Amino acid sequence: MNRTFVFWFYWGAEIRVFVFSGLIDYLVDHGEVVVCARFLNQDLMSSADPRVRWIQSTLTKGSAWQSRFHSFANRVHWLWLCKRSEGMAVLDRAAVAGDTEPLNTLREVGAKAFARRPVVNLVNKLASRALDATVEDLNWLSPMDLSKGATILVSSDYLSVAGVRTIRAAKKRKLATVFYPSNWRDVYKGARLSPPFNDWIMWNAKMVDAARRNNPWLGNARFREAGSTQFDSHFRSDWFVPREKFCTMLGTDPNRPLICYSAVSDSAFKGEAEIVEQIIDALQKSEIGRSVQVVVRLNPAGSDPCYRDLCLKYPQTCFMQSPEWWIERPPDGAPIWRSNTPADARMMANLIEHCLANVGLPSTMMLDFAVKGRPSICIGFDPSECKGGTTRAKDFLDQEFIRPALEQNVWPVASSATDVAELIVKCIKGTIAENKAAYNFVTATVGSCDGKVHQRLAQDIISICDRVRQTRR
């Protein structure tokens, strides 16, 4: 076949997009697959086809001045977007990937002065050159045998210093490079796309338009649209287990309806367990409501500790499902590596498959349920006493991704626990069926979500690889 597909994992989100989706397993039948990741363990490696070759990344993160200049370029780009009233998704990750020190006043003044298109173009060019590949960057690519045919490197990392240097190293080794987003926030909202990828595969036309509009230096770069693989794992029939087995895993009754409550981080919202208790009490007032079992999907970042007491108080009604995540904190100050485990990805797929609906403060969990046609109910009220902090339900309702959905009445917003209970009963009765509006909203936002995106993406990658091979001939 004379094809080699090399993947570069930096953030951890790539595991869901490239491994759990089935993309890598699909590609092993069409060439050699190599994965280079910052963190590796046996659980991850055994979740993919045994023919996949795994490499532990040893790339350096760059010098302090490189990181600061990279962060400065991101800041200038963001201020330029602000002047044009564009959205952005840079700072939340660029600040971590680049300069982690408090913003320097002098640099901030300079950034504001430079936030004009000609200067933005120049700063981007200088920042890219400043992050040229080093000997260390080139070393891990040395084993790639280019004499076998076409070798292509696929990456979702446009932002980190290591990511920029990796792409530059690949180009020096004569590897073709392809970008594909691993996060729905990336690119779509106006990130600075600095590495010189050969090809860009986006989720949809909106993402392509945002990339071109907010990165004038891309010029006539090649773009394709493939949809979003991050939801493909929810469609994997080989991961599904019968309802009886799934309920045994949770300790629930397979003959009673299941509702998922997706908890948010305890640091982001205090007293959430009280809301769930109010919902359970409201459900107890009707015969149908009393049959409901609430499975609380805890948050990987930590959830309200009172959920444990709630499960003891309602042992036949409230159950907890704890996520299994790899959260690695590198000692060198690089960004935290976050990814759910293969077991957790399978649990999520089954949770969506067997639960009638999802309830919770607005979060991306609603997107996960929507792609399978499952309704979600937004919590629009606070506990009786918000313990510490100032975050309220209205702050979650005002998130950028949820605001347009609520304007289109995609998801109902409950103003009380009684409202939630009534909506849940409607789901059980079948009054609220498949949520086509939510599915349409998600596909319009992130692209196709039919469980077969990984196959189309694989074909795009294969065709690019073959084009490179023909060009070299």
* pLDDT over threshold 80, residue 444: yes
- The per-residue pLDDT for 136 is 64
Co-location of 94 and 182 in the same domain: no
Share of the chain above pLDDT 90, in %: 46
Tell me, what DSSP letter sits at residue 104?
Answer: P
- The per-residue pLDDT for 222 is 93
Do the beta carbons of residue 440 and residue 404 sit within 8 Å?
A: no
Tell me, what DSSP letter sits at residue 364?
Answer: T
More confidently predicted of 19 and 129: 19
Co-location of 22 and 35 in the same domain: yes
- The per-residue pLDDT for 87 is 44
Sequence-ordered list of residues with C-beta below 8 angstroms from that of 440, at least 6 positions apart, any chain:
none
| SS3 category, 335 | coil
As given in the structure block, the two tokens for residue 346 are 């399978």
As given in the structure block, the two tokens for residue 59 are 């790339």
* pLDDT over threshold 70, residue 140: no
- The per-residue pLDDT for 88 is 42
pLDDT category at 149 given cuts 50, 70, 90 is: low
State the pairing for strand pair 337-340/325-328: antiparallel
More confidently predicted of 434 and 285: 285
What domain range is 352 assigned to? 236-446
Least confident of 188-197, 309-318, 407-416, 434-443: 188-197
Per DSSP, the residues of 181-217 read -SSTTTTTT-----S--SEEEESSHHHHHHHHHH-GG
Co-location of 290 and 345 in the same domain: yes
When divided into structural domains, the chain yields a total of 3
Sequence-ordered list of residues with C-beta below 8 angstroms from that of 346, at least 6 positions apart, any chain:
239
More confidently predicted of 408 and 253: 253
Co-location of 152 and 273 in the same domain: no
Co-location of 104 and 26 in the same domain: no
* pLDDT over threshold 70, residue 389: no
* pLDDT over threshold 90, residue 56: no
pLDDT category at 336 given cuts 50, 70, 90 is: confident
Share of the chain above pLDDT 70, in %: 84
pLDDT category at 143 given cuts 50, 70, 90 is: low
* pLDDT over threshold 60, residue 60: no
Identify the CA nearest to 458 among candidates 238, 157, 224, 193.
Answer: 224
Per DSSP, the residues of 107-139 read HHHHHHHH-SHHHHHHHHHHHHHHT---HHHHH
Round to whole Å and give the CA distance between 398 and 260: 22
Cα 347-350-353 angle, rounded to 5 deg:
155
| SS3 category, 300 | coil
Name the strand (E) or helix (H) holding 357: strand 357-360
Co-location of 258 and 326 in the same domain: yes
More confidently predicted of 254 and 76: 254
pLDDT category at 473 given cuts 50, 70, 90 is: low
Co-location of 438 and 312 in the same domain: yes
- The per-residue pLDDT for 183 is 78
Q: Which amino acid is at 26?
A: Y
Reported as a single tens digit per residue, the pLDDT across 298-308 is: 999 889 999 99
* pLDDT over threshold 80, residue 158: yes
pLDDT category at 29 given cuts 50, 70, 90 is: very high
Co-location of 50 and 105 in the same domain: no
Co-location of 289 and 403 in the same domain: yes
As given in the structure block, the two tokens for residue 378 are 């937004």
As given in the structure block, the two tokens for residue 211 are 């990339």
Do the beta carbons of residue 144 and residue 171 sit within 8 Å?
A: no
pLDDT category at 91 given cuts 50, 70, 90 is: very low
φ, ψ dihedrals at 326, nearest 5°: -90, 115
**Helix 64-83, helix 105-114: angle, nearest 10:** 50
Reported as a single tens digit per residue, the pLDDT across 95-126 is: 344 444 445 554 555 556 666 778 788 888 88
**Where residue 187 sits, what CATH number does that domain have?**
3.40.50.2000
- The per-residue pLDDT for 133 is 64
Reported as a single tens digit per residue, the pLDDT across 178-195 is: 999 987 666 566 678 877
* Candidate ranges 65-74, 326-335, 343-352; pick with highest mean pLDDT: 343-352
Q: Which amino acid is at 363?
A: S
* Candidate ranges 289-298, 376-385, 445-454; pick with highest mean pLDDT: 289-298
Co-location of 442 and 454 in the same domain: no
Which of 97, 128, 159 terminates a domain? The answer is 128
Do the beta carbons of residue 265 and residue 230 sit within 8 Å?
A: no
Per DSSP, the residues of 226-295 read ---GGGGGGG-GGG---HHHHHHHHT--TTS-EEEEE---TTTSS-HHHHHHHHHHHHTTSHHHHT-EEE
* pLDDT over threshold 70, residue 315: yes
Co-location of 332 and 350 in the same domain: yes
- The per-residue pLDDT for 101 is 44
Task: Name the average pLDDT for the chain.
Answer: 84
Sequence-ordered list of residues with C-beta below 8 angstroms from that of 202, at least 6 positions apart, any chain:
180, 181, 187, 208, 211, 223, 224, 225, 226, 447
- The per-residue pLDDT for 236 is 95
- The per-residue pLDDT for 99 is 42
Round to whole Å and give the CA distance between 391 and 268: 7
* pLDDT over threshold 80, residue 410: yes
Co-location of 76 and 205 in the same domain: no
- The per-residue pLDDT for 108 is 56
* pLDDT over threshold 60, residue 422: yes
Round to whole Å and give the CA distance between 294 and 138: 52
* Beta-carbon count within 10 A of 142 CB: 8
